[in-house]
Amino acid sequence: MTPYRSRLRAWAVAFLAAVALPAALLGPPTSASAANTLTMLGADVSSVQRSLDLGARYYDAAGTARDPLDILKGVGVNYVRLRVWNNPASGWNNKAKVLAYAKTVKAKGLKLMIDFHYSDTWADPGKQYKPAAWANHGIGQLQSDVYNYTSDVCTSLRNQGTTPDSVQIGNEINVGMLWNDGKVVNNDFTNLSLLLKAGYQATKACNGGTQVIIHTANADSMDHARWFYDGIRAKGVQWDLTALSYYCMWHGTLANLYNVITDVRTRYGKPVVLTETAYPFTAANADNEPNAINGTEPCAGHQASWTGQATEFSWVQDTARNAGAIGVFYWEPTWYAVPGNGWDPANINGTGNQWDNMAVFNWTGQVNPSIRWRP
C-alpha cells in the first residue's frame, strides 16, 4: 500500500465502474465453506515504531494506555506484518529498525511477516523504484541483489531468534518489480520470474519453514489475477501463499472479492491471504496532508464511522473466510496523525499522514471499541 492520492485517482477510474453497491449491501457472500477458519489475523504496523518514538500513546476500549501490540492482540491479532525498505532517507523501516521491532513482536507471542519492497521508498502497482544502490544493475546483477538482500535480512532475523514466519517477495507487484528490468512488458514474465525465484531460494535457504508470499493488488478482477499468477507459474516460479490487497473503494464488491479468492485458491492450489485492507472511520482530516481516502464516498453502504469501519472489516473477514482464505491483515491500523511521522520517507518530518482517517485508533490514540479480528 502507498497512501498517495494519485493512487486513488488512478485506480478509481479503472475500478469504481465495477462496483455494484446494491449487491454489496446484501452482506458478505456465504457458501458451504463458511466453516473455514482464518488463522492469520494480521496487522501491518510498520509505522508504529516512529509513532512511539515521537511519544504517541495508545488506549484500549476502557481508556487505559497500553502498548499498541497488546491492544491489537486483545482484539484478535496474532500476526504482524512489517515492511522493509533498503535504504530509506528517513532511516525508518530499514533493516535495523525491522530487526529491533521484530524482537518486540516475537516477545509478545505474535507471528511475523516481512514485506520486502526492494526499494528505498514505496513500491505499489504504479511504481516499483529500484533502490539507489541497484539503480544501474541489469537483470543478472539484480537476481544476485534480491538473493543477497533477502538472505541477509532473513538470516539476521533468524540469528537473533526472530525467524520470520512468512516473507513477501515484493509488494503489490501487479506488473513486476525493480522496474524497468523486472517489469512485465508484452506479457513477458521472464525477468520477473528470475527475481521471484531468487527471493524464494534465498528465503528457503535461510529457513525452509518460512512461507513465501507473492502479493498483488489484483483482487479487483479474476482476469487480472489469472494473467499475473498464470504468467509466473508458466515460468516455474514457486510460492507458498497467494496474497491480495483488497480496498472496496478500489477493488469492487465483496461478491467480486469472493469470486477472485475462490478462483485463485482453486486454480493455483495454494492458501490465500488478504495482506491489506482498511476502511475510514471518519470523513475528516487530522492534519494538512490530504487523506488518501476522503471518507465522503464510503463503499459497501457503510458510513465513515467507528461502526462503519468495524462492520466493513467484519464483512471482509467473513467474505475471505467463506471463500476459503486463511488470513486477513489490516493495513496500518496504528498510523494515526502524529506530527513527524509523515508519509514521505524523504521528508518524514515535513509531510503529514494520508492515512489518519483509516487507522483503527483515532487522533488521540483511542482504539475503535467495535473492531475485532475473528478466526
d(CA 218, CA 18): 13
The pLDDT of residue 103: 98
d(CA 110, CA 145): 29
What is the DSSP annotation of 139-183? HHHHHHHHHHHHHHHHHHHHHTT---SEEEESSS-TTBSSTTTTB
d(CA 157, CA 25): 44
d(CA 278, CA 309): 8
Residue 180, preceding peptide bond in cis (omega within 30° of 0)? yes
- Specify the DSSP class assigned to residue 187: T
Residue 41: its H or E element: strand 40-44
Return the number of other C-beta atoms located less than 10 Å from residue 234's C-beta: 10
**Residue located via cell numbers 475528516:** 284
Return the number of other C-beta atoms located less than 10 Å from residue 180's C-beta: 10
d(CA 268, CA 241): 10
The beta strands (E) that lie in 200-313 are given as 211-216, 241-245, 272-276
The pLDDT of residue 301: 81
d(CA 318, CA 135): 43
Burial class of residue 290, CB neighbours in 10 A (0-12, 13-18, 19+): exposed
Contact 242, 214 (CB under 8 A): yes
d(CA 170, CA 147): 12
- Specify the DSSP class assigned to residue 80: E
Q: What is the mean pLDDT of each run of 10 residues along the chain (375 residues)?
A: 44 34 56 73 98 98 98 98 98 98 98 98 98 98 98 98 98 98 98 98 98 98 98 98 96 96 98 97 93 78 92 97 98 97 96 96 97 98
Among 276, 289, 312, 332, the active-site one is 276
Please give the grid coordinates belonging to residue 79. 500476526
Largest Cα–Cα separation, the chain? 55
Counting every residue written for the chain, the total comes to 375
> Which residues touch 241 (CB under 8 Å, ≥6 apart)?
166, 211, 212, 213, 214, 270, 271, 272, 273, 326
- Long-range contacts at 343-352 (CB < 8 A, ≥ 24 apart): 343/3, 343/4, 343/289, 345/85, 345/88, 345/89, 345/90, 345/92, 345/93, 345/120, 345/121, 346/89, 346/90, 346/121, 348/50, 348/89, 348/90, 348/92, 351/289, 352/287, 352/288, 352/289
Question: What is the model's pTM?
Answer: 0.93
276 in active site: yes
Among 172, 289, 312, 332, the active-site one is 172
From the list 225, 250, 253, the residue with the least C-alpha distance to 315 is 253
> Which residues touch 259 (CB under 8 Å, ≥6 apart)?
222, 323
332 in active site: no
The pLDDT of residue 178: 98
d(CA 121, CA 127): 10
d(CA 346, CA 88): 7
The pLDDT of residue 272: 98
Pairing of strands 111-116, 166-169: parallel
From the list 232, 255, 229, 234, the residue with the least C-alpha distance to 244 is 229
What amino acid occupies position 198? Answer: A
